[in-house]
Chains A and B, each alone.
Chain A
Amino acid sequence: MTAVEPRFDQVVHAPPRLQVCGLLAAVDTMEFAAVRDAVGVSDSVLSKHVKQLEDAGYVRVRKATIASRVRTSLSLTAEGRTAFGAHVAELKRITGG
């Protein structure tokens, strides 16, 4: 496994965004509703944070119509995975872990 260079990331760091990135890093895609339920915030709060992650190029948002319902799924981009991995490495460095 390649060692990740620790780097504090201000975009990832904020509490709900760190949680969102942590969940998305564990999967390929996750439904918006599943992320919302796991993080425990409202749709509007999650949307705001997802937009910030999207603007940073860390998260990709996809919408699909299934059985006449629009489903939104989220995924981390390669850049987002790198940033999250580096941020986690920095947290581990700080804790000495």
Chain B
Amino acid sequence: MSADRERAAADLAALDRDRAALAEKVLQPWWFDAALGLLLFGFLAVQAVDADWVTAPALLVFAGGLALLVRVYRARSGVWVHTPARVMAGWGALVLVVLVPAYLLSSQGHRWAMVVAGAVLGLAVALLSRHWGRAWQRELREGV
């Protein structure tokens, strides 16, 4: 093997090692996914009350909770990635499929529908967050 080839192989191996080491840091702890799911559930479930004095503080808690989760994740891992557009599009479609019927039912007096929607989407975001985290981890381990 020529020196250039050896050096190139060593550089590629080093890049792969760095990505593998990074993969060990990027997966969020389990409580991150649980907190994300609970925040979404809480925010949607309180819409069943249909009163501004409940929904306005709920929005503040939801936004504040998300900001805190992002901050904690960045402080722990030292990195940040934005969710890919195709993943966000899939999530947006799921939100619409669940929320539109729930909103229609809720507007006809079946306010419990928002609690169910919150439970479904809260559980979904927790599971999907875990899935996306593991998928990114696998991608990093595959190397450059």
Contacts and interface: CB of A to CB of B under 8 A. Distances in A.
Interface stretch (B3-11, B95-103, B108-116): B3-11
A84 B74 CA distance: 24
Interface residues of B, number: 23
A88 interface: yes
A91 interface: yes
Contacts of A54: none
Interface residues of A, number: 26
B79 A95 contact: no
A88 B144 contact: yes
B2 to A, nearest CB: 9
Nearest to A19: B18
B82 A22 contact: no
Contacts of B21: 38
Contacts of B5: 94-96
Nearest to B23: A26
Contacts, number: 63
B80 A88 contact: no
B12 A91 contact: yes
A37 B18 CA distance: 11
A70 interface: no
Nearest to B25: A34
Interface centre among B11, B25, B80, B140 (most CB of A within 10 A): B11
B118 to A, nearest CB: 29
B82 A28 contact: yes
A27 interface: yes
Contacts of A26: 19, 22, 140
Contact of A29 (B11, B14, B80): B80
Given A31-B74, A95-B9, A88 B79 contact: no
A23 B22 contact: yes
A30 interface: yes
Contacts of A22: 14-15, 18-19, 144
Interface in A1-44: 18-19, 22-23, 25-31, 33-35, 37-38
B10 to A, nearest CB: 10
Contacts of B8: 90-92, 94-95
A34 B78 contact: yes
Contacts of B9: 95
